[in-house]
């Protein structure tokens, strides 16, 4: 799995890292139970400090995407991903609100907005079953 970071971005590196790993899960490139590289090796690989990788791993643990197994190291959560429960939907609602508000202010129609979303969904679902 490729990790691509933008060191110039305003987005923290650990956040980018989290997002890339979640994207890997969405694309089913990373499967439940699969091992992730150790913080040290991943840090060396992508050229960042091990604490930065560690922070990303910690947050992913806390969200329930990964866990550390005492014998196998860090793995994708073997029992499957955390569900899109009401809490997640509420948070999604809050996140999308300002994005959609700006889209409307700029006169982007619901159809155009949905088209963009569909395009993005497509890029993930195409990869399923690889």
Partner DNA sequence: GTGGTCTAGACCACG
Partner DNA sequence: GTGGTCTAGACCACA
Query: Where along the sequence are the contacts to its own copies (CB under 8 A)?
Result: 7-9, 12-13, 19, 22-23, 25-26, 48, 62, 65, 67-72, 81-84, 88-89, 92-93, 95-108, 110, 112-114, 116-121, 124-125
- Give least dist CB 31 to its own copies, A: 12
Are the C-beta atoms of 56 and 18 separated by less than 8 Å?
yes
The CA–CA distances, whole Å, from 10 to 5, 15, 56, 58, 79 equal 12, 10, 16, 21, 34
65 binds DNA (CB under 7 A): no
- Give least dist CB 103 to its own copies, A: 7
39 binds DNA (CB under 7 A): yes
Task: Give the chain's radius of gyration (CA, Å).
Answer: 17
Q: Which residue among 20, 28, 58, 103 contacts DNA (CB under 7 A)?
A: 58
3-state secondary structure 102-119: HHHHCCCCHHHHHHHHHH
**Binding partner of 29, given DNA, its own copies, none, CB within 5-8 angstroms per partner class:** none
Per-residue DSSP letter, 10: S
Q: Which residue among 31, 68, 91, 124 contacts DNA (CB under 7 A)?
A: 68
Q: Which residue among 21, 55, 66, 76 contacts DNA (CB under 7 A)?
A: 55
The CA distance from 13 to 55, in Å, is 10
Are the C-beta atoms of 49 and 12 separated by less than 8 Å?
no
């Amino acid at each position: 799995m490729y990790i691509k970071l933008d060191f110039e971005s305003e987005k923290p590196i650990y956040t980018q890292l989290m997002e890339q790993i979640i994207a890997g899960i969405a694309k089913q490139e990373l499967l439940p139970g699969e091992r992730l590289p150790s913080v040290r090796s991943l840090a060396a690989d992508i050229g960042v400090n091990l604490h930065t990788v560690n922070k990303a791993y910690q947050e992913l643990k806390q969200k329930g995407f990964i866990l550390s197994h005492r014998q196998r190291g860090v793995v994708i959560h073997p029992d499957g991903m955390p569900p899109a429960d009401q809490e997640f939907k509420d948070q999604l609602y809050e996140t999308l609100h300002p994005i959609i508000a700006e889209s409307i202010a700029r006169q982007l129609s619901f159809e155009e907005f949905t088209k963009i979303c569909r395009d993005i969904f497509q890029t993930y679902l195409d990869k399923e079953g690889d």
